[in-house]
Amino acid sequence: MGKSKRNSPKPGGNRAQRLAERRAALEQAGEAVTRPFQGLAAECDLVALREFVPSATATLKLSPGAAAERSVVLATVLPGAVAALVRAGDEPTGYVGVQVQAEGANPAADIAAAILWTQSAEPGESLPGAESIEGGPALTDVIDPGAALELTVHQDFDWWVPEGVEPDPQVAATIEQAKQAIMPSDRLDLGADAIGAAWWVDAGDKAHLRWVRPEPEDDLMLALARLHAAGGLHLGEGSRFAGSFRTHGLLVPVFDLDPERHASEWTAPAIEFGARLAQALATDAPMSAEERRSRDGLRSRQVTLR
């Protein structure tokens, strides 16, 4: 008589642990907010800061309803990847990071909780990980939803240390290590009427333009397919459409660029591409066979980050 197979994992065993971890991951994925920054004028920049911008800061415009007494600076990443800290000074300032070690299911709610934490924390304190409370204030209630981010893009992490303060050797070594790993980045200024957030980065052997767009994914994909079929899916000489990725409910087209050209040299080509894309988005004609093939090809090259 053959041995019967055990269908349920042994409690405390490796298989049981793996199954538990898989269930937890699925539950968290089910709870995750698809488009956490929707409703904010700064949505596209918030997505960029969270996903791929190395070093940038912006002083937030807080909502009057937040009853804030301290100014708050939003930052890509803080020392130790903490969620927030309060910097001492004549007027203590709160700092909130968007790239953190401990991530929740709703990053916007976590940022809102971290902002509120900075208002009562003591100077010198830090918050390892912000956990939003169910039913707590939304980010749209804490910051002005109609305000864009007035960003300062840094090419290092020297801003981690207040001006006039000499860092201890360990902090100085950490800053130097981070500086060595940073990739030069910049946000293209495409004018007041530009849609989304276009970010250039020098990755060494090539440069990239990642353009975070706010349009519904299907609409944007159709417009990109129309441009591809017409030979217009590029930023001119020295550029190539590399594909796109989804993150936080948005689609991000990516272009490979000639690294010998400065970021500012791509401003005019990006504006021209933006105009072509706007025209394609406004087109409601039925898709041609070539456009359908282009759409299928573009979708097959998509990557989903989260």
Q: In the prediction, which pLDDT does 287 show? A: 94
Q: How much is the CA Rg of the chain, to the nearest whole Å?
A: 22
Taking residues 45-55, report their average pLDDT: 97
Angle at 178 between CA 173 and CA 182, to 5 degrees: 150
H helix or E strand, kind and range, residue 304: strand 302-304
The two tokens of residue 46 are: 């918030």
Residue 268 binned pLDDT confidence (cut-offs 50, 70, 90): very high
Q: In the prediction, which pLDDT does 47 show? A: 98
Name the one residue in this structure whose structure tokens are 């007027």. 91
Contact 59, 149 (CB under 8 A): no
Residue 264 binned pLDDT confidence (cut-offs 50, 70, 90): very high
Alpha carbon of residue 240 to chain centroid = 23
How far is the C-alpha of 274 from the C-alpha of 242, rounded, in Å?
17
pTM of the model: 0.85
For residue range 156-201, what is the model confidence (pLDDT) as tens digits?
999 998 887 888 888 888 888 888 889 999 999 999 889 999 999 9
Taking residues 242-252, report their average pLDDT: 95
How far is the C-alpha of 226 from the C-alpha of 291, rounded, in Å?
5
Residue 29 binned pLDDT confidence (cut-offs 50, 70, 90): very low
In sequence order, which residues have a C-beta less than 8 Å from that of residue 165 and are 6 or more positions away? none
Taking residues 211-226, report their average pLDDT: 97
Greater confidence, 15 or 142? Answer: 142
Strands (E), 248-300: 250-257
How far is the C-alpha of 77 from the C-alpha of 79, rounded, in Å?
7
Greater confidence, 165 or 266? Answer: 266
